[in-house]
Amino acid sequence: MERYYQPEIETASREQITAWQNERLVAQVKHVWDNVPYYRKKMQDKGLTPDDIKGIEDLHKLPFVTKADLRDAYPYGLLAKPLSECVRIQSTSGTTGKRVVAFYTQKDIDLWEDCCARAITAVGGTKDDVCQVSYGYGLFTGGPGLNGGSHKVGCLTIPTSSGNTERQIMFIQDLQATILCCTPSYAAYLGESMKEMGLTPDQIPLKAGIFGAEAWSEEMRQDIQNTLGIKAYDIYGLTELSGPGVSFECSAQTGMHINEDHFIAEIIDPETGEVLPEGSKGELVFTSITKEAFPLIRYRTRDICTLSYEPCPCGRTHVKMSKPMGRSDDMLIIRGVNVFPSQIETVLLNNGYAANYPIIVDRVKNTDTLDVRVEMTPEMFTDNMAEIDKMQKTLINDLRSMLGLTAKVTLVAPKSIVRSEGKAVRVIDKRKI
């Protein structure tokens, strides 16, 4: 039997969902107009006042918000509540050192955790389950979000955070964890490690996994399901909107239900910004209609996907999004960390190298790898291995502080990297996802 965390919301009629969205959108637009000069100015530039927004049919009139807007407004520019009413920040890695900081009131946290609780319940979670949260805890939203959702469902929560694979496996075995929350690549790695230890799927107590924060294929789903002997479910979200739980998969495993009582979804043409008809593939745009501290109006996610309003066998009525099929910008997600090629370029240029740097991303043993090949300039060229090693180490350290990620750096002779004649192809992504 299908279980819901908030059945009256999750199975509400389309009329009811639309009524909530109309009412909440009007209130949200008024809230940002009254409290965020940044939004008021953006609306005024378009000749709009809150009176022009009477419901979701007027949404398209409002200007978009982009990651660049968030960076410009760093840290407090988009805050819509006094700091004294905020209780938490979470943050995402950003370009050139500036991070996006999202603020939460207690109510924002509460509603976010409800979304995560819906996801856990959708995979069969109840208060009798043991939920191991192996997403990172800290500024990243994965750990805190699913931790909160797990508490709400009443699961025994194991906050292992990411890493320390041996300890992860020990807790899964000793505490009989039934639900695992982590990135799909880490789930695959855990599966492989357990297999190497001689554990068969029936010796692993897990029954379900909630895996997201990065793209993963259907093949990878099958692989994880087989090695761990579980059902593997997708979950999507972004820091700017709250974190995991913006949408989640149900028993049908064919797309993720967007929590439409909190987020209005649109699909736009990434080139023109025009709203596309139902079923079209395009860039996902969200408006958060219940967020108090950090509401976003028409936020461009850069994720490319489709929406489906087809009835779902699980009984949930909220629209489903497909797995993201790519991005409309050049952001890479490597081991769960958001990386822009421009960040790598900044480090290279700061160290006196040229901007000719193939970035090779691969997935080896289910872990993402990042290799950067860098040309020495004729002035710095040497064949002294100790010198080269020292230069490579400096770059690795600088990249680590910029990206929060360890890259492999290979220095090569001047002019040995083939120059492109057109648009430079910086990134070679060999991952099959």
Residue 411: closest CA among 375, 368, 363: 375
- Give me the residue whose beta carbon is nearest to ligand DLL: 212
User: Which C-beta is closer to ligand DLL: that of 196 or that of 218?
Assistant: 218
Nearest to ligand DLL of 237, 356 (CB atom): 237
**CB 413, min distance to ligand DLL, A:** 36
283 lies in the binding site for ligand DLL (CB under 6 A):
no
Q: Are 320 and 312 in contact (CB under 8 A)?
A: yes
Task: Single out the residue of 94, 144, 212, 341 in contact with ligand DLL (rule: CB under 6 A).
Answer: 212
Of 213 and 307, the one with the shorter C-beta distance to ligand DLL is 213
Q: Which amino acid is at 162?
A: S
148 is a site residue for ligand DLL (CB under 6 A): no
Shortest distance, CB of residue 104 to ligand DLL, whole angstroms? 14
Its sign, for the CA torsion 413, 419, 425, 426, is positive
The structure tokens listed for 218 are 């259907």
Distance in Å, CB of 21 to ligand DLL, minimum? 22
- Looking at residues 92 to 111 of the shown chain, list those that interact with ligand DLL (rule: CB under 6 A): 92
Could you tell me how many residues of this chain bind ligand DLL (CB under 6 A)? 23
Q: CB 259 → ligand DLL: shortest distance, Å? A: 13
Residue 323 is a binding residue for ligand DLL (CB under 6 A): yes
303 binds ligand DLL (CB under 6 A): yes
**φ and ψ at 338, to 5 degrees?**
-80, 125
Q: 327 or 415, CB closer to ligand DLL?
A: 327
What is the tally of helices (H) and strands (E) in the chain? Answer: 11, 21
Task: Check binding of 180 to ligand DLL (CB under 6 A).
Answer: no
Between 70 and 312, name the residue whose CB sits nearer to ligand DLL. 70
- 258 backbone dihedrals φ, ψ, rounded to 5°: -85, 135
Task: Report the C-alpha gap between 99 and 82 in whole angstroms.
Answer: 21
| Maximum CA extent, the chain | 72
* Euclidean distance between CA atoms 128 and 150, whole angstroms: 11
Q: Is 112 in the site for ligand DLL (CB under 6 A)?
A: no
Residue 357 Ramachandran class (φ > 0 left, ψ -120 to 50 alpha, else beta): beta
DSSP state at residue 370: E
Could you tell me which stretch among 61-69, 116-124, 236-244, 345-353 binds ligand DLL (CB under 6 A)? 236-244
- Residue closer to ligand DLL, measured from CB, 209 or 212: 212
- Cβ atoms of 414 and 376 within 8 Å: the answer is yes
CB count, 10 Å around CB of 359?
A: 20
Residue 342's φ and ψ, nearest 5 degrees, are -65, -30
- Comparing CB distances to ligand DLL, the nearer of 215 and 297 is 215
Candidates 295, 324, 341, 358; binder of ligand DLL (CB under 6 A) is 324
Residue from the set 95, 147, 157, 239 that interacts with ligand DLL by CB under 6 A: 239
Q: Is 115 in the site for ligand DLL (CB under 6 A)?
A: no
Q: Of 117 and 213, which has the nearer Cβ to ligand DLL? A: 213
Query: Helix or strand or coil: residue 354?
Result: coil
Rounded to a whole number of angstroms, the minimum distance from the CB of residue 63 to ligand DLL is 20
User: What are the structure tokens assigned to 314, written together?
Assistant: 């699980």
**236 is a site residue for ligand DLL (CB under 6 A):** yes
| E strand or H helix at 103 | strand 100-105
How many CA atoms within 13 Å lie on the side-chain side of 174?
Answer: 7
The one segment of 108-116, 134-142, 171-179, 194-202 that binds ligand DLL by CB under 6 A: 134-142
Binding status of residue 333 toward ligand DLL by CB under 6 A: yes
* Part in contact with ligand DLL (CB under 6 A); list of ranges 156-164, 193-201, 232-240, 264-272: 232-240
- Reading phi first (left if > 0) and then psi (alpha if -120 to 50, else beta), residue 21 is in alpha
- From residue 342 to residue 381, what is the string marking binding to ligand DLL with x (rule CB under 6 A)? ----------------------------------------
Q: CA geometry: angle at 246 spanning 320 and 332, to 5°?
A: 95
User: Residue 9's CB: how many other CB atoms inside 10 A?
Assistant: 20
Q: Going by DSSP bridges, is the β-strand pair 367-375/337-339 parallel, antiparallel, or unpaired?
A: unpaired
Which stretches of the chain bind ligand DLL, using CB under 6 A?
92, 135, 141-142, 212-215, 234-239, 243-244, 301, 303, 323-324, 327, 333, 338
